Structure formats: structure tokens, C-alpha cells
Structure 1
Amino acid sequence: MKKEITVQTKTVEEAVKNGAAQLGTDENGVVYEVIEEPKRGFLGMGSTPATVKVMYVFKPLEAARSFAQTLIKDLCLDAEVVIHDDGSGEALMEITGADAGTLIGHHGDTLDAFQYLVNLAANKKETDERKYTRISVDIENYREKREQTLRALADRMAQKVKKNGRSVTLEPMNAYERRIIHAQVQGIAGVSTNSVGAEGNRRVVIYLEGTEKPTEENAAKFDPQQSRGGERKDRRNNRRSGRGGKKSSERTSAPRDEEKPVYKRPADKPRPQPRKIEKAKDLDAYFAKLKEFSSNNPQ
């Protein structure tokens, strides 16, 4: 990540100095490129100033801070950015403020995405000499609270597996949270863990040691949703086949009714003309016409 500015002054040195001041640093913290050398001209006529592009390349933590502050400002959030660096190539960014919780999301999904973008901004290489810096982002101590919740969940589910003798499949988690589950269950005798599923929907399965290990091939067996769905489908099919077989046997054993003859009009008998009733002005006249019609056309 870098900032750059183009400056025009009488000399290159002056342009570099002015450009560095506008970028908020000194001359030693910038790099520059001379676009056009200054020309004196003749008797002050035809002279041209020096055109210099001055660039400031952010250090990883500066780039991360600038990105986070810009994002928070664009989202109109009341929050501040604090970075703790121990010089080991890893740093912690803390977001504090009244609106900081907005950046956590469901189970930390928004926080994980925010941390990913912060690391992209911090480690965008502008020069080959730049080293990778890992930055962890935490908001209102969410990481520690989430870790405690996951460890308690691992203990509770491990005891459930030991009691019932059946494996338990947890909800989808990211790699960081799955590592917490694996590490916690390792200290519990009699149970073990393995991850199954595609990335983005990867789950931890806690199972009894000595039983079948969950793998990608048999993952459906350990997926509670697929298992319940399959059992329900099998039960429905069995019920349908049972009812269908019973009805089929009843149909085959019961005699069929004889076919009734269909009346056909003889060819020499003319088709009867449709009945016509003349329009009547009122209801009484209508019934009178109907009575007259019936007497003239006996059945």
C-alpha cells in the first residue's frame, strides 16, 4: 500500500522535500521519480520547473491501520484502532468503541473477513524486500470468549459421546476454531476427533476411540442432517411399499365388474332437435310458455 503525489518546483530536491511534507513524513521515508528535469531557459524565458512523483510506501502495520481506519470511517462506526506489536512479525489489532461489535458478525464471520482484508492490505508487496507480517484482529475480547465457549463445547460433547457411545458432529467451523476443538479433545481419554466435509462447510466429528474413523468417504454416515433425512426417506418408502402391496393384492383378488353395455343410437333414427323456448317478458309468461311447450312435445 502506498501514497503518491506529483510536485512541480524549481529543483528536484525542493520537490522531494515538499512532497514528503505533504505525505506526512520526511525525505528519508519516501522514494521519488523525476518525470521532467528543470530547465532554466534564457533570461528567465522558456524555463520549466522540475516535475517529480514522490511516493511513500506504508509499512505493514501502518498499511493495516490506515485500511482499518478508512473502513470504519466509511461505515460511519464509532470505533478506534489500536495495534500492539512485539517486533516478532506478529501483531494484534484491537477495535474498541461503541459500534465495534458490529464488526463481529455471527460466530465471528464478519470479524474473520475483516482480519483477512487487514492482512491483505498489510502484506501487499510494493518491493521485494517487504516481509510478511501476521496481524490478528480482536474486538471487545471476542477471540478469548469464543475460545472458552468452544473448549466448553468440546468437553460437553466428548462426555456425551462417551456416555451414549455414538459420534457427534459439530456445526461448520473455520480452521482456527476447529484447531481449538481438536486440541481440547486430545486431552480427554477415550475419544478422538477428525474433520470431514468440503472447505466452507467443514465439521469436526467427535467419536469413540476404537470405532470407525470419520473420513471423506463415509462422511455422510456422520452427518446428522443427511442421516436423519435418509432414515425418514427409508421409512416413507417402506410405508408406501407396504400400503401399495396390500392394495395391489386386494385388487388382484377382487373380481372385476362386468362391463356395462353402451347405448348406441340406430342409424335410421334421426337425431332429436334441441328444445327451444321463446323469450318471455316476465316469469309468469315464461312458465306458461314452458307448459305449452311440454303439452305440444310429449315425451
Structure 2
Amino acid sequence: MSTNRIFEGKDLAEALAEASTRLSIAEPDLDYEIIEQGRRGLFGLGAKSVQIRVMPPIDAETRAAGHGELTGQLSQGRGRRRSGRGNDPAARRPARAARRESSDEPVGERPRREREPAPEAPQESVDQVQASIEKMVGLLGLDLGVRAKGVAGGTEVELDGPDRELLTGGDAETIDAWQFLLNRMSRRAWPEAGRIHIYCNGHRQTRDEDLLALARETAERVLQDGRAKRLRPMNSYERRLVHMTVRKMRGVDSCSEGEGALKRVRVFKRRRRPPRD
């Protein structure tokens, strides 16, 4: 296999099984990245398959011939994936690495600190957010009702009405765009409103559930085969969901890679540091 191949299935397990069968490669030996997380759809409608890109395997001669950098990546549990830049992203995070090395405990077993619950957004800020969104809706000529409420750490906005399908079409990219813009605005206009989350017709809840399931499944596979996995490019809200889910699981961690608003999330196995003499 000289080029990358794309496979799909109703979930990650089915996509991997298809790739394994078609390429005659055992599933644990597949080097892949998830390029489309998929979704279940509503009442069976609008479902989307999970898609993975499988990288060409490295033969024994190439491995032994010595691409030192690639071999180093293999030994660090990155699998045989090539990032395109040739540098391990972990090398660009010296401060993070130093923090991990400062403890005698195995990294994977370090107890996590309990965070205090974030305060609820004040009603005045919530009202300002709702008024601004109502103005946006009116200027766009949309027939939508707006209901905002303060929650721990932010503001939830529910949109409903005859024009809701205009927001949920195209994998809800319009909702994502609105949410991104509103959060940028809130940093200056309503900082106490916290993070703004937009919901419409139950669409975001379904997407969030699918994303959380994918994060857990990916982390479990990393624990099984020890190889890092990279998910499709995501916005900051989606990345935060993945990071929160992965970091609740022992033995795995995650980090963001790339530039710009859309970045990939890499899920990797934590390395145990040998005890000090």
C-alpha cells in the first residue's frame, strides 16, 4: 500500500474492521487517524459514517535502515504516524513535560485535583446575551425564539421556531459559527456571561453525545495498543469536550495540535516514569 486509504463504518470499530479486512492487516497494527467522527442522526435520519485514513505500513527494512526521528516516535508510543512537520509536538511543550517530571508518582496514576464548581452567570449578563441574539435573529429575518439561562461557568441559549432547520442543516455549521462569534464578543461585552453554548432542536446534544462516545472509544483503543490517535480538526468547544472526557480516564491524556481555530486532538498513552534511585 503506497498511499493513504480511507475507510468508513457506522462506528469506529466497524471502520477499523473494514480496513483490517481490505488491507489484510491486523487491527492493532493499523496506523490511522479519524477524519470524520460520524453521527447517529435523529430517528435514523441524517446519520453520518465514521471515516478513518489509514497510513501506509513501514516495512522492516525501512524501519531497520534507520530513520532516527521516526524510530524515536515509535518508541514514545506515537505509532507509525507521520505528522507532516517531522517534529514531535511534545517537544514543543517543555513546560508541560517539566511539570510531569516533577512528581515521583507514575504519571498515569497521579490523583486529579477536585475543581470547585464554577459560579453561575449573573442574570444581568444573561439578559444582555439574550437581547443581543434576539437582535441578530431579527436582523437576519429569522423566525426564532430565544431563551437564555445562566448555568455553572456560562450561559446556555436555546433557539426554537419555524426557521430552526436553517441552523441545524449542514451538520449545524451555522450554530457553530454563531457560538464562536458570540464567545468572541462576550470576552469584551459580557465577560461575566462565561462560555456561551447554543442549542437548537436537540441537535447539539446529539452531536455532543456522539463526540463524547468517540473520545472514550479512541482512548480505550490507545490503552489497548499503546499508539496515539488523532481526531479530525475541531473547534475549541469540541476540543474541550474531548480533553475533559479523556482526562477522566486513567493512563491516557490528550493535547491539541495545529494552528488556527480548527485543531486536531491527539490522544496518547501516558508514560510511566521509572522510580528515582
TM range (shorter): 0.3 to 0.5
Higher relative contact order (CA 8 A, sep 6+): 2
Question: TM-score by structure 1 length?
Answer: 0.41
Q: Larger C-alpha radius of gyration, 1 or 2?
A: 1
